[in-house]
Amino acid sequence: IRAVVYTSEAAADIAASRLGQTGGRLCAIVDDAARFNRDAGVTGVLLFDGARFVQYMEGPDDGLQVAYSRVLGASSHSG
Ligand SMILES: Cc1cc2nc3c(=O)[nH]c(=O)nc-3n(C[C@H](O)[C@H](O)[C@H](O)COP(=O)(O)O)c2cc1C
């Protein structure tokens, strides 16, 4: 089991959207991420304060690498 933790800044349209808004962009990201993580054996926690993310992820090396590369490639946040 490996783990990674990072912080990032939400893109402007995410930051402007309401927290927990059903059907919103943030919900779609979380659903997509949770589905992928389940298949990859990855778990963790995602925190959002309306402007910044903190995510802790853990899982087997191969699954975590793919999940984290998806995080790095997402345009919904930066930094
Ligand atoms: C804050 C944040 C956390 C994410 N966490 C995960 C994750 O845990 N696992 C994963 O496979 N993808 C994760 N993603 C990627 C999303 O599931 C999705 O593929 C991506 O946001 C879609 O691309 P876009 O942001 O460019 O629209 C994350 C994306 C963001 C913005």
Q: How many Å lie between the centroid of ligand 1 and the Cα of residue 79?
A: 14
pLDDT of residue 22: 60
**50-68 tens-digit pLDDT:** 899 999 999 999 999 999 9
Tell me the CATH number at 63: 3.30.70.100
Pairing mode of beta strands 52-59, 77-78: unpaired
Q: How many Å lie between the centroid of ligand 1 and the Cα of residue 76?
A: 8
pLDDT of residue 18: 63
- Write out the residue range of the structural domain in which residue 66 sits: 2-78
In the block, tokens 């090396």 appear at 61
CA max distance for the chain: 35
41: confidence class by pLDDT, cuts 50, 70, 90:
very high
CA distance 41 to 32: 14
**Tally of domains in the chain:** 1
CB-based pocket (< 6 A), ligand 1: 29, 32-33, 36-37, 46, 53, 55, 57, 67, 70-71, 74-77
**7-31 tens-digit pLDDT:** 999 998 887 776 556 668 888 899 9
CA distance 74 to 15: 15
